[in-house]
Structure 1
């Protein structure tokens, strides 16, 4: 059966109370300037479990609740309701989040039985692909809510990376969900987002474009047709791999040895409700002789360990010193581009995404997007790691430029001992 997504309305959801005049301009931090200026997508899938009301009534009630609670949430997360002003700031003009309603004349379970990863893009704003670049005058955040004939709902969220990393985005969505549950005396009342990143990591109006994360890795990219596959490791496979990776140098390998959240590395640690970008890339070079799992994990652990509280302090320095450090790091990475193949990893694990309940239950699935494009995009040879609904596993979303390379992975006997390729989320959520 053919599945089509039909857009039925577009509007802006404004904050329930106006932003004070002294907060109307949000300054970006040095780390906000460093990240790639792209939109970060998250997609949440909620099948309908209510049999007391008709699907049409359920959809009507839940759409209204989502809009109202989003408006309330934006009064605290006010930069999300603004527009990009320039490379240094957000205009917090209360114009609102761009909100799209769409519908599908099929049940949601029909899609979830065997998801087409390339179709997920249709659950996100139609006029953007995930690598679109927010420019002056564009919305900071965009939401699309897609309803299904069964009463199921898919919530797709796009937020500009210059205002939020994965932790910040998940905190925003958690707060939205808490407002929808009307927990005004509990979580929703306690959440007080902080937008003071520019005071911790002062920006510079002379930030060179060649010192961004994007420009550091662009030399590694190639033009061609991209393909995405989803490799799922269950708890047993992760336990086995941890045992294989254990060594005298790394006695307690983790599920994720790839990303660094500076909130936890600062001294004192920063709250998850510090909005903006508090992430850094740990880089290492693998050679053929170090390709065994034990060696790879050791080199990753060594790279991550270098990003400590002293490193965070060095980025906090006023003036040229913090910028100079970033420029030197980017220069070192770019200098290797003609000699090595680039593989990027980013982790969305341990963000509590499967706990996000708007009042009708937790999501059956939380996904990234599938890339099937011939354009030059940021996710070439990129792996995004997510939690599955069942604990202690990993979903690895692999995007590769070369279909032939992906074809090799799909039939690799050693890999297939540990993973299931593109399993149904319905089977993983029991």
Structure 2
């Protein structure tokens, strides 16, 4: 469906239905927010109409739906008031109620079901405002959130959201989606999850936090120039069961790799297979005449809310995340066992425990955060003693519950990340985003690699034994019930 054209119909700002109280007009970022790069975080939800029903039966008038979405968004912004503000500087938000940028668009020539039958990931950015995805925010005065609702002639629609990562992580975005959808369904106020903005008091910001300790500074070491390619691979329940058996089989009964999760085994397989692809194309180190594979570091985003003692509420807004880092040095990737990689992943994540979360709180938190950043930098420098190190950044959106986001016309049939632009040259890092399949027992892997490495990965039989390509979200096994 490469001929799909998304036409912009209107643009406006949706303001909160009630003004933000004076004592909340300035929202300070937290210490953990300071760690995050100033990029927009994308999320796209797809709501098709059943192909055998009339649009008016399922969705009613598109204009009526539009008004309901905008009204409920306005009401939702009253409690999510920072989103309706503008950046004041790099440490605070002016909660001035200017509103969220809201775009309405339409697709006349294509049914959403047709598009989802063979989704072209290179076109998904058209469902986001300005066609952006993981793009850098514009600094002071820039909007914190932008929304686009795209209506298809068949009655289906797509909701695309961009929110500043400096104020929301994935869990916070999920809370916003759920609250907006609940208001759109006219859910009683007492049953709608209310956000809290306690992060700045739990993790006070600090002028002493050095710029060189931020994640963007860390990632800059691994920026690559070239053509970045996005591919979506699906691991269904059967593939994941096989991966779990494989990981458990090559470890002892007392090993910490027993009973691995689907995210762990999919991460381990992708890590191993990308290492193979990178080694095939990268110059190898010569050590005493023997060729040696370059070390590879991965990071995995960890939600600190559930690691605090007692746990923080999932409705806490802001960034409650840190990167767990693991490294494989000087071994052939083909020889690595899946179970050993699962153990490395678990050990890295296990370090981010309740004690770490507690040490990051209060006025002394900045000291601990600097220590953790230096530790990650030391891991990088010790692994790359000769300056050569490959990197893969992992993020998991699994178990977020986004397939339950119902605005009143049914649950989404798909949620997606976004593809990269088809520019011949761009700056990028190797990255992987993991999301749920609609059946919730599978995993979709959105992989961002250089063109050559991706071509090698797509031909790796060990990878393709578990990963399906060109898998439609409408196919059996990718959703709980037939649409």
Task: Classify the TM-score, shorter chain.
Answer: over 0.9
Structure whose alpha-carbon radius of gyration is higher: 2
* Matching residue within 403, 408, 412 for 1:359: 408
Indicate the residue corresponding to 1:321 in structure 2: 367
Tell me the alpha carbon deviations over residues 148-177 of structure 1, each in whole angstroms, 9 at most, x when there is no partner: 111110000000001110000011011000
Q: Bigger CA drift: 91-100 or 317-326? A: 317-326
How far is 1:95 from its partner? 0.7
Indicate the residue corresponding to 2:472 in structure 1: 424
How far is 1:78 from its partner? 0.5
The alpha-carbon distance between structure 1 residues 294 and 334, as it changes in their structure 2 partners (threshold 3 A), is closer
1:411 corresponds to 2:413: no
Indicate the residue corresponding to 1:184 in structure 2: 188
Q: Is the Cα contact below 8 Å between 1:117 and 1:228 reproduced in 2?
A: yes
| Corresponding residue SS for 2:71 | helix
1:388 corresponds to 2:437: yes
Indicate the residue corresponding to 2:259 in structure 1: 252
Equivalent runs, 1:162-181 vs 2, <5 Å: 162-181=166-185
Q: Bigger CA drift: 65-74 or 201-210? A: 201-210
Between the aligned partners of 1:161 and 1:185, the Cα distance in structure 2 is 27
Tell me the alpha carbon deviations over residues 169-214 of structure 1, each in whole angstroms, 9 at most, x when there is no partner: 01101100000011125532xx221111011111112332211111
| Corresponding residue SS for 1:236 | helix
Indicate the residue corresponding to 1:158 in structure 2: 162
Tell me the alpha carbon deviations over residues 250-305 of structure 1, each in whole angstroms, 9 at most, x when there is no partner: 21211123442100011110011000000111101113267221110011111111
Q: Is the Cα contact below 8 Å between 2:209 and 2:370 reproduced in 1?
A: no
* Matching residue within 331, 336, 340 for 1:295: 340
Tell me the alpha carbon deviations over residues 361-415 of structure 1, each in whole angstroms, 9 at most, x when there is no partner: 110110000113455445x2100000000121000000002x1211111121121
Between the aligned partners of 1:362 and 1:145, the Cα distance in structure 2 is 15
Equivalent runs, 1:203-352 vs 2, <5 Å: 203-246=205-248, 247-248=251-252, 249=255, 250-257=257-264, 258-287=300-329, 288=331, 291-319=336-364, 320-333=366-379, 335=381, 336=383, 338-352=387-401
1:147 corresponds to 2:154: no
How far is 1:129 from its partner? 4.2
TM-score computed with the length of structure 2 as normaliser: 0.85
How far is 1:93 from its partner? 0.6
How far is 1:70 from its partner? 0.3
1:104 corresponds to 2:111: no
Q: Which runs of 5+ in 1 are unaligned?
A: none
| Corresponding residue SS for 1:11 | strand
Q: Is the Cα contact below 8 Å between 2:40 and 2:137 reproduced in 1?
A: yes
Between the aligned partners of 1:375 and 1:184, the Cα distance in structure 2 is 50
Indicate the residue corresponding to 1:6 in structure 2: 7
Between the aligned partners of 2:127 and 2:189, the Cα distance in structure 1 is 33
Aligned length: 426
TM-score computed with the length of structure 1 as normaliser: 0.95
How far is 1:127 from its partner? 6.0
Q: Which runs of 5+ in 2 are unaligned?
A: 265-299
Consecutive aligned runs of 4 or more in structure 1 exceeding 3 Å deviation: 54-57, 372-378
Between the aligned partners of 2:426 and 2:216, the Cα distance in structure 1 is 12
Q: Is the Cα contact below 8 Å between 2:117 and 2:472 reproduced in 1?
A: yes
The alpha-carbon distance between structure 1 residues 84 and 32, as it changes in their structure 2 partners (threshold 3 A), is same
Q: Bigger CA drift: 339-348 or 317-326? A: 317-326
Between the aligned partners of 1:35 and 1:88, the Cα distance in structure 2 is 12
| Corresponding residue SS for 2:150 | strand
| Corresponding residue SS for 2:103 | strand
Indicate the residue corresponding to 1:35 in structure 2: 36
| Corresponding residue SS for 1:303 | helix
